[in-house]
Amino acid sequence: MDGRLRHGGGERLPTADGPRVASDSGARIVLSLRTQPWAQFALLAAAVGVMAVAQIYGNGVLTTAALAGFGLILAGAIASGILARVQPQSHTGWIALIPLAALVGIPLIRNDALEVVDGIGFMMVFPLVWLGAGFSLPPIVVGILLAGAIPLMPSISAGRAPDSAPEWIAFGLFLAFAALIALSAFGTGHQLRREVANREAALASSEAAAEARERLSAILQAVSEATDNAVLVFGPDGSVLTANDAAHRLARLAGIDLTGEPALAGRKIYSADRRTPLFPSPQTVTALARSGEVRGRIAWLGDTDQVAVSYSARPIFRGGEPLGTVLIAHDVTDLVEAIEVRDRFLDAVNHELRTPLTVLMGETELAQTEEVSPRVAARLERVDSAAQRLFTTVEHLLSAYRTSVRALPNTTSVALTVGDVIERLSSLAREHEVTVAFTDHGVQNASVDARSLGGIIEELLRNAVLLSPRGATVAVHASRERDRPMIEITDSGVGMSDSERRRAFDRFYRTDFAREQAVPGVGLGLSIARNLADANGISIELEPGPSGGTRARLTLPPASPAAGALG
């Protein structure tokens, strides 16, 4: 590459920035500069004026040379006018012959009119500017040399070489002026082409970015329409920027016009209690999202036939600048109503099952206080144990299907809680000939609900006893790790696979061994233990035991320093 623009049929045009191939816009500018007629028309007008003045105030006779020079300029003007209309697209380098011919014609006119009109040589400005702005360096150099030769034409016409200092000085000055004029026009043309090329590139980049944004918008719109979820995008002022069909359907159910301004202000949108208004102003939506990502909230739409929706919202940022908020919602009316029906059913079951069981256990306990034969006492103990077991199963079933587990955190003695559980399960351990060994390494207190902690330990210890072979020992260790109380329950059973440990806390899940050996249970104990643990901030994990079996590890929240001191 030699710093020139490829254009048309293999011809090279000047560029502005070296070896880079210019854009089509640069080629169009070069073509426009080459085919513009105005420089030649201006030169023709000047030549007509000079010829008229020379005819009027000169000797009245124009030489053949002057007429030939005028003819060159006139022919060039006609040709440039035709080119301006035709606008050739290739092989335009020959157009440089028009300004070069004009630079030949100017000195021919100058010889006849010099004595009448001074400064005719400066007519060279028009062709030189044309050459510099629209053509490459070779024709520019030829034009500069022709312009510099203008003051030497009298000597050349007389058939002699310049022999005086003024002639050579004039030649040098004309050559310098011509070079400055042509090169300044050349630089201006290059600058113009560079700026236009940069603008064209910026415009092309902007158009490509706009097209990419349109494609992305079309994709996002298709995705939003393909889902059954309602998708709404709010601007920073709370106005709805876009909403899919599902959003409009939910809005119609609630009597909301998403095209209104503002969209959600004062509408019939209520919180989970069905009474407290949500989004009283359009800014509430964006304020809600800016406060942090919102997930799984429940809202009710409408006044009479209300519709429940679960919605999530999050802010949209770009470079730290807030662009708005996206809100996604879906209709959960059937699910919420089903949960309400389920809770009413559980309340009924709770009353119908727990009440007679409580009476049965109470009467059994009273009967055990009376003097009876050992045989009757053994029967009463079995009845009480069965009633207690049935009561625990009913309680587990009810707890497993409650929407939440209620916890009352307080300061609890870990050792006393573990000891109480071991005492409660002592008869079960004796029945299965399993020894429970408890070791307390000064764990002291934890900030948990005592009843919840006891329930968790009871479920884990019950499983450990039931799954251990006869004559085995279940080890219970209470210790502290990084200032947090920890309880470990390790059995000597068959252990669990990785898959079984991952699913152990699922509702109604039972291992193959438990099913094959008919181990008592319905697969709810560990699920309830996990719910209780989550409600109390307790970490519960299952891992292989050091010599087979399974180890359950509980990490408890530490008690406050003040509570610990009191304990």
Q: Output the 3-class SS for 187-204.
A: HHHHHHHHHHHHHHHHHH
The H-or-E segment that residue 78 falls in is helix 64-86
Confidence of residue 566 (pLDDT cuts 50, 70, 90): very low
Domain ranges of the chain: 4-202, 228-331, 336-400, 410-566
133 compared with 2, residue with greater pLDDT: 133
pLDDT at 37 over 60: yes
Cα dihedral 209/210/211/214 (nearest 10): 120
| Beta-carbon contacts of residue 297 (< 8 Å; ≥ 6 apart) | 272, 310, 311, 312
CA atoms 237, 242, 247, 251: torsion sign: positive
Torsion-angle region of 238 (φ positive above 0: left; ψ -120 to 50: alpha; else: beta): left
d(C-alpha 225, C-alpha 244), whole Å:
6
Average pLDDT score over residue span 108-127:
73
- Which structure tokens are listed for 258? 């998403």
Confidence of residue 489 (pLDDT cuts 50, 70, 90): very high
Q: Determine if the peptide bond prior to 557 is cis (ω within 30°).
A: no
Q: Confirm if 151 and 174 have CB atoms less than 8 A apart.
A: yes
Tell me if residue 412 falls in helix, strand or coil: strand
pLDDT at 125 over 50: yes
Identity of residue 460: L
Greatest mean pLDDT among 108-117, 334-343, 401-410, 508-517: 334-343
Average pLDDT score over residue span 516-523:
58
255 compared with 210, residue with greater pLDDT: 210
Q: Confirm if 265 and 279 have CB atoms less than 8 A apart.
A: yes
Domains 228-331 and 410-566 share a fold: no
Between the alpha carbon of residue 136 and those of residues 139, 244, 263, 553, 567, the distances in Å are: 6, 59, 64, 85, 97
Three-state SS string over 376-403 comes to HHHHHHHHHHHHHHHHHHHHHHHHHCCC
- Residue 356, class by beta-carbon neighbours within 10 Å (0-12 exposed, 13-18 middle, 19+ buried)? exposed
Q: Confirm if 467 and 536 have CB atoms less than 8 A apart.
A: no
pLDDT at 175 over 60: yes
Confidence of residue 487 (pLDDT cuts 50, 70, 90): very high
Average pLDDT score over residue span 311-328:
82
Confidence of residue 549 (pLDDT cuts 50, 70, 90): confident
437 compared with 377, residue with greater pLDDT: 437
pLDDT at 476 over 90: yes
Confidence of residue 97 (pLDDT cuts 50, 70, 90): very high
Average pLDDT score over residue span 31-46:
86
Instruction: Identify the pLDDT of residue 8.
Output: 37
Q: Confirm if 475 and 483 have CB atoms less than 8 A apart.
A: no
Confidence of residue 378 (pLDDT cuts 50, 70, 90): confident
Instruction: Identify the pLDDT of residue 362.
Output: 78
Could you say which DSSP state residue 304 is in?
A: S
d(C-alpha 326, C-alpha 244), whole Å:
12
Range scoring the smallest mean pLDDT among 108-122, 372-386, 409-423, 458-472: 108-122
Instruction: Identify the pLDDT of residue 9.
Output: 37
The H-or-E segment that residue 132 falls in is helix 125-134
Phi and psi dihedrals of 414, rounded to 5?
-65, -45
291 compared with 84, residue with greater pLDDT: 84
Fold (CATH) for 410-566: Heat Shock Protein 90 (3.30.565)
d(C-alpha 525, C-alpha 456), whole Å:
9
Phi and psi dihedrals of 104, rounded to 5?
-80, -35
pLDDT at 182 over 80: yes
Average pLDDT score over residue span 19-47:
74
Average pLDDT score over residue span 110-126:
71
Confidence of residue 1 (pLDDT cuts 50, 70, 90): very low
Could you say which DSSP state residue 548 is in?
A: B
Instruction: Identify the pLDDT of residue 299.
Output: 81
Greatest mean pLDDT among 122-131, 352-361, 407-416: 122-131
pLDDT at 60 over 60: no
pLDDT at 14 over 60: no
pLDDT at 565 over 60: no
Instruction: Identify the pLDDT of residue 563.
Output: 42
Instruction: Identify the pLDDT of residue 437.
Output: 92
Between the alpha carbon of residue 108 and those of residues 45, 79, 240, 542, the distances in Å are: 16, 20, 77, 108
Choose the CATH number for 228-331 among 3.40.50.2000, 2.60.120.1600, 3.40.720.10, 3.30.450.20: 3.30.450.20
Q: Confirm if 424 and 547 have CB atoms less than 8 A apart.
A: no
d(C-alpha 254, C-alpha 275), whole Å:
14
pLDDT at 408 over 60: no
Average pLDDT, the chain: 77
Range scoring the smallest mean pLDDT among 411-420, 501-510, 515-524, 551-560: 515-524
Phi and psi dihedrals of 347, rounded to 5?
-60, -40
- Residue 390, class by beta-carbon neighbours within 10 Å (0-12 exposed, 13-18 middle, 19+ buried)? middle
Q: Kindly report, residue by residue over 226-272, the tens digit of the pLDDT.
A: 788 888 888 777 778 888 888 888 877 766 777 655 555 546 777 77
pLDDT at 78 over 90: yes
pLDDT at 61 over 70: no
Q: Could you tell me the maximum CA-CA distance found in the chain, to the nearest angstrom?
A: 164
Instruction: Identify the pLDDT of residue 240.
Output: 80
Q: What percent of the chain has pLDDT over 90?
A: 5
Instruction: Identify the pLDDT of residue 213.
Output: 80
Q: How many CB atoms lie within 10 A of CB 289?
A: 21
Q: Confirm if 474 and 562 have CB atoms less than 8 A apart.
A: no
Among candidate residues 74, 188, 176, the one with its CA nearest the CA of residue 134: 188
Q: Confirm if 109 and 120 have CB atoms less than 8 A apart.
A: yes
d(C-alpha 225, C-alpha 249), whole Å:
12
How far from chain centre, in Å, is Cα 466? 53
pLDDT at 488 over 90: yes
Average pLDDT score over residue span 134-141:
86
d(C-alpha 69, C-alpha 110), whole Å:
9
The H-or-E segment that residue 312 falls in is strand 307-318
Phi and psi dihedrals of 113, rounded to 5?
-105, 0
